């Protein structure tokens, strides 16, 4: 058998796998390698936090993992689907059905109500609406009064909750969230983080969450420390103190 023709396979039990993932912006002297030959094994059923300094490439990383952006080189698997090998149309299909994304800037459609924003992934992917699930998300996130409002009529925290509901409405296997609690108060973020952790444990969902908040990170089963486009270490079963110590230890990097 000729090994060079065998298609690579992701390890069983991984929700997300990356090998040699690299993304550079710009060219020449102005170029920035935002993600630099990253290998990742994100197990299924675990809440993973990604922490690191501003500009270290966290947003770029989660966009690549979700198939929202293409790497210059390297590969990503969602479960056993090698999404970097897919054409755009197939990629959109896989992404719509099995990946939920919470954007750093929410990315809600301004002309649509919160309800329509939340339901949009179902429409786009031909998935049947489950009103009981919608109700339970609305309850958990406390956005019942916002459903008929448009994003510009809501606060940042309310928009963030709507964006979280939109990411969860399809019950995706994998949720990628870029600072999902950045605009929420302590109580609201604790509630959402508990829910995310619970759905990882009980439903085998996998969540990868970028955060700046050591308390938020302490809800995770594992924290990845990211610096200069690379994984610089990880902390298992983190406490807020362990996370702070890990951030302090990031070699030569300022927080
Ligand atoms: P983080 O989320 O950790 O703050 P980002 O992934 O947003 O980091 O950015 C990593 C690096 O890539 C930064 O130096 C940033 O300026 C650069 N960068 C990000 N997006 C772009 C882009 N679209 N064009 C050019 N440079 C970018
Ligand atoms: Mg970012």
Residue 34 lies in a domain: no
Among 230, 234, 246, 233, which Cα is nearest to 39's? 230
Region of 79 on the Ramachandran plot (φ > 0 left; ψ -120 to 50 alpha; else beta)? left
In a domain, 36, yes or no: no
The reply to whether 13 falls in a domain is no
What digits encode the pLDDT tens for the residues 127-172? Answer: 999 999 999 999 989 999 999 999 999 998 899 999 999 999 999 9
Mean pLDDT of the chain: 92
What pLDDT, on a 0 to 100 scale, did the predictor assign at position 225?
Answer: 96
CATH number, domain of 88, equals 3.40.50.300
The answer to which of 83-87, 233-237, 249-253 has the lowest mean pLDDT is 249-253
CA of 12 to the centre of ligand 2 (A): 29
From 28, 36, 60, mutation site for ligand 1 pocket: most ligand atoms within 8 A of C-beta:
60
Torsion angles phi and psi, residue 11, rounded to 5: -60, 140
Q: Where are the beta strands (DSSP E) in the chain?
A: 14-25, 32-43, 47-51, 73-78, 81-82, 99-102, 174-178, 206-210, 222-227, 230-236
Looking at residue 198, what is its pLDDT? 85
pLDDT for 98 equals: 92
Read off the pLDDT of residues 115-134 as tens digits, 9 standing for 90 and up.
Answer: 999 999 999 999 999 999 99
Comparing 34 with 105, which gets the higher pLDDT? 34
Within a domain: residue 211?
A: yes
pLDDT at 253 over 80: no
Q: Taking residues 187-215, what's their average pLDDT?
A: 89
Q: Confirm whether 116 is domain-assigned.
A: yes
C-alpha 245 to ligand 1 mean position (Å): 25
Atom of ligand 1 nearest to the CA of 56: 3
Residue with the smallest CA separation from ligand 1 atom 27 is 25
Residue 17 lies in a domain: no
Residue with CA closest to ligand 1 atom 13: 55
pLDDT in tens, 6-20: 567 899 999 999 999
State the DSSP code for 128: P
Work out which ligand 1 atom sits closest to the CA atom of 210: 2
Count of domains for the chain: 1
Residue 118 lies in a domain: yes
Q: How many Å lie between the centroid of ligand 2 and the Cα of residue 6?
A: 36
Ligand closest to the CA atom of residue 178:
2
Taking each helix axis from N to C end, the angle separating 114-125 and 131-141, rounded to the nearest 10 degrees, works out to 140
Residues with CB under 6 A from ligand 1: 25-26, 32, 34, 52, 54-60
Task: Read off the pLDDT of residues 19-33 as tens digits, 9 standing for 90 and up.
Answer: 999 999 999 999 999
Question: Alpha-carbon distance 241 to 223, whole Å?
Answer: 12
What is the domain extent for residue 230?
Answer: 44-70+81-251
Band of residue 1 on the pLDDT scale cut at 50, 70, 90: very low
Please check whether residue 184 is in contact with residue 109, taking contact to mean a CB–CB distance below 8 angstroms: no
* pLDDT at residue 5 tops 80: no
Distance (Å) from CA 162 to ligand 1 centroid: 25
Instruction: Indicate if the pLDDT at residue 77 is higher than 80.
Output: yes
Tell me which ligand sits closest to the C-alpha of residue 105: 2
- Residue 54, pLDDT > 50, answer yes
pLDDT at 15: 95
Q: Which ligand is nearest to the CA of 25?
A: 1
Examine residue 97 and state whether it is found in any structural domain, yes or no. yes
């Amino acid at each position: 058998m000729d090994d060079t023709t065998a298609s690579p396979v992701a390890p069983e039990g991984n929700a997300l796998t990356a090998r040699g993932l690299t993304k550079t912006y710009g060219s020449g002297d102005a170029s920035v390698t935002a993600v630099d030959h990253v290998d990742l094994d994100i197990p299924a059923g675990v809440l993973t936090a990604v922490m690191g300094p501003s500009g270290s490439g966290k947003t770029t990383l989660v966009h690549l993992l979700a198939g929202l952006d293409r790497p210059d080189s390297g590969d990503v698997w969602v479960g056993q689907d090698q999404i970097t090998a897919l054409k755009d149309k197939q990629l959109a299909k896989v992404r719509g059905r099995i990946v939920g994304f919470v954007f750093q800037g929410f990315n809600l459609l301004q002309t649509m109500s919160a309800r329509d924003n939340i339901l949009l992934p179902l429409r786009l992917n031909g998935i049947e609406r489950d009103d009981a699930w919608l109700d339970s998300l609305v309850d958990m996130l406390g956005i019942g009064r916002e459903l008929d409002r448009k994003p510009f009529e809501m606060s940042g925290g309310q928009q963030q909750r709507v964006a979280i509901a939109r990411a969860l409405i399809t019950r995706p296997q994998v949720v990628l969230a870029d600072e999902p609690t950045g605009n929420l108060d302590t109580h609201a973020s604790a509630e959402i983080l508990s829910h995310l952790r619970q759905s990882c444990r009980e439903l085998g969902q996998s969540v990868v969450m970028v955060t700046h908040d050591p308390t938020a990170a302490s809800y995770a089963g594992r924290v990845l420390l990211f610096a200069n486009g690379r994984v610089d270490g990880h902390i298992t079963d983190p406490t807020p103190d362990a996370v702070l110590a890990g951030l302090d230890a990031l070699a030569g990097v300022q927080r």
